[in-house]
């Protein structure tokens, strides 16, 4: 039998007094999916992740976690682990002692503490007190604590906060391997590039409402216009060809000699432009969107919601 959806939310609404933090949110997360949650400050991301972790209950709507309906009692649903607003750690204990204490609290005689510490790359500092840990090291230790429970749904609020590029690569490797083994991962981030690198699906929240939820590939259609940076071996001729290609708009007023062109185009016109460059023996040295499709969709969708 197929595994049930890791998250199935329908019409989730959550109030804080007069504030509608979540407004009729629908969400589907499948096992093995890394699902990104993005939105401006105050959009409701932490509130939604908190509901999935059982830290609060919705005022309205139906929420099923790993196939089980969530009731009215506050409790971490079985099979779920993670943290919002940073992991809860004991500063005066070492990394290893923290994990041992958490395991004891759960009545778990786990022997996998060293393995969890190793997975997040903290073996060298396992016996150091957490008080001296950087934000990135705390985030990694929080992830190790979550890994101890072997979750089937992992919830992480801004997991890349404070991580240096190497730390990020390490943590993302852990998350990707977990997902490949069937764990669903739901994470919030303000970094669209991270979400694009890691997530197959994304939910964009704006003032508590879902502006988009689904595969990242569905965000930008072939017909959506994006701005692209273009660097070629002959900028003057490339500018002329850009002016002559239907559907391409030059976005800058620079002289012909300036190496970098910025054009606006949908995919079919961009294809035509590149073909013409190649026919004229011009090498394309760089061609990339100025902002990623996710970032462009994020800005457009949230601006649209804010004017409604």
116 vs 211 by CB, closer to ligand ATP: 211
Sequence-ordered list of residues with C-beta below 8 angstroms from that of 150, at least 6 positions apart, any chain? none
Residue-wise burial string across 109-132, b where 16 or more C-beta atoms lie within 10 A, e elsewhere? ebebbeebbebbbbeebbeeebee
DSSP readout, 36-91?
A: EEE-STTSSHHHHHHHHTTSS--SEEEEEETTEE--SS--PPTTEEEESSS----T
Task: Pick from 41, 92, 253, 308 the residue near ligand ATP by CB under 6 A.
Answer: 41
User: Residue 116 is encoded by which pair of tokens?
Assistant: 């969890």
Q: Is 44 in the site for ligand ATP (CB under 6 A)?
A: yes
In the bound complex, what is the minimum distance in angstroms from residue 4's beta carbon to ligand ATP?
26
Taking a C-beta distance cutoff of 8 angstroms, is the pair 120, 141 a contact?
A: yes
Sequence-ordered list of residues with C-beta below 8 angstroms from that of 129, at least 6 positions apart, any chain? 91, 92, 93, 94
In the bound complex, what is the minimum distance in angstroms from residue 209's beta carbon to ligand ATP?
12
Eight-class DSSP state of 106: T
Task: Pick from 39, 54, 82, 159 the residue near ligand ATP by CB under 6 A.
Answer: 39
The piece of 34-42, 71-79, 140-148, 298-306 that touches ligand ATP (CB under 6 A) is 34-42
Task: Pick from 35, 45, 96, 152 the residue near ligand ATP by CB under 6 A.
Answer: 45
The piece of 5-13, 42-50, 118-126, 279-287 that touches ligand ATP (CB under 6 A) is 42-50
In the bound complex, what is the minimum distance in angstroms from residue 116's beta carbon to ligand ATP?
27
The piece of 38-46, 92-100, 171-179, 296-304 that touches ligand ATP (CB under 6 A) is 38-46
In the bound complex, what is the minimum distance in angstroms from residue 13's beta carbon to ligand ATP?
12
Q: Which of 72, 76, 27, 35 is nearest to 208 (CA)?
A: 27
User: Residue 210 is encoded by which pair of tokens?
Assistant: 């879902």
Distances from the Cα of 90 to the Cαs of 21, 31, 94, 250, 259, in angstroms? 30, 32, 8, 56, 54
212 vs 273 by CB, closer to ligand ATP: 212
Distances from the Cα of 235 to the Cαs of 12, 254, 257, 283, 284, in angstroms? 53, 11, 6, 10, 10
Taking a C-beta distance cutoff of 8 angstroms, is the pair 286, 229 a contact?
A: yes
Task: Pick from 9, 21, 51, 263 the residue near ligand ATP by CB under 6 A.
Answer: 21
Which residues 1-20 are close enough to bind ligand ATP by CB under 6 A? 16, 19
19 vs 166 by CB, closer to ligand ATP: 19
In the bound complex, what is the minimum distance in angstroms from residue 283's beta carbon to ligand ATP?
43
In the bound complex, what is the minimum distance in angstroms from residue 123's beta carbon to ligand ATP?
31
The piece of 41-49, 121-129, 269-277, 289-297 that touches ligand ATP (CB under 6 A) is 41-49
38 vs 99 by CB, closer to ligand ATP: 38
43 vs 185 by CB, closer to ligand ATP: 43
Task: Pick from 43, 53, 120, 163 the residue near ligand ATP by CB under 6 A.
Answer: 43
Taking a C-beta distance cutoff of 8 angstroms, is the pair 194, 165 a contact?
A: no
Which residues 130-159 are close enough to bind ligand ATP by CB under 6 A? none
Q: Which residues bind ligand ATP (CB under 6 A)?
A: 16, 19, 21, 39, 41-47
């Amino acid at each position: 039998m197929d595994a049930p959806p890791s998250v199935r939310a329908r019409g989730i609404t959550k109030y804080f007094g007069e504030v509608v933090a979540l407004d009729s949110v629908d969400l589907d997360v499948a096992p093995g999916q890394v699902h990104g949650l993005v939105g401006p400050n105050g959009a409701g991301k932490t509130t939604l992740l908190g509901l999935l972790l059982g830290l609060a209950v919705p005022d309205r709507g139906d929420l099923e976690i790993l196939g089980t309906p969530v009731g009215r009692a506050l409790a971490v649903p079985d099979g779920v682990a993670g943290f919002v607003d940073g992991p809860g750690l004991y500063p005066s204990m070492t990394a290893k002692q923290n994990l041992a204490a958490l395991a004891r609290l759960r009545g778990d005689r786990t022997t996998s503490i060293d393995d969890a510490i190793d997975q997040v790359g903290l073996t060298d500092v396992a016996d150091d007190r957490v008080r001296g840990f950087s934000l990135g090291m705390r985030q990694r230790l929080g992830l190790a604590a979550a890994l101890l429970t072997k979750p089937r749904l992992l919830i992480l609020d801004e997991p890349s906060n404070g991580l240096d590029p190497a730390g990020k690569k390490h943590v993302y490797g852990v998350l990707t391997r977990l997902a490949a083994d069937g764990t669903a991962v739901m994470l919030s981030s303000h970094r669209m590039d991270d979400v694009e690198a890691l997530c197959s699906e994304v939910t964009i929240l704006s003032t508590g409402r879902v502006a988009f939820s689904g595969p990242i590939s569905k965000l930008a259609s072939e017909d959506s216009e994006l701005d692209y940076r273009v660097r070629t071996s002959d900028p003057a001729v490339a500018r002329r060809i850009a002016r002559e290609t239907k559907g391409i708009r030059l976005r800058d007023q620079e002289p012909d000699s300036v190496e970098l062109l910025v054009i606006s185009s949908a995919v079919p016109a961009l294809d035509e432009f590149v073909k013409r460059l190649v026919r004229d023996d011009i090498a394309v040295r760089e061609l990339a969107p100025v902002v990623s499709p996710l970032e462009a969709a994020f800005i457009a969708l949230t601006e649209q919601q804010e004017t409604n």
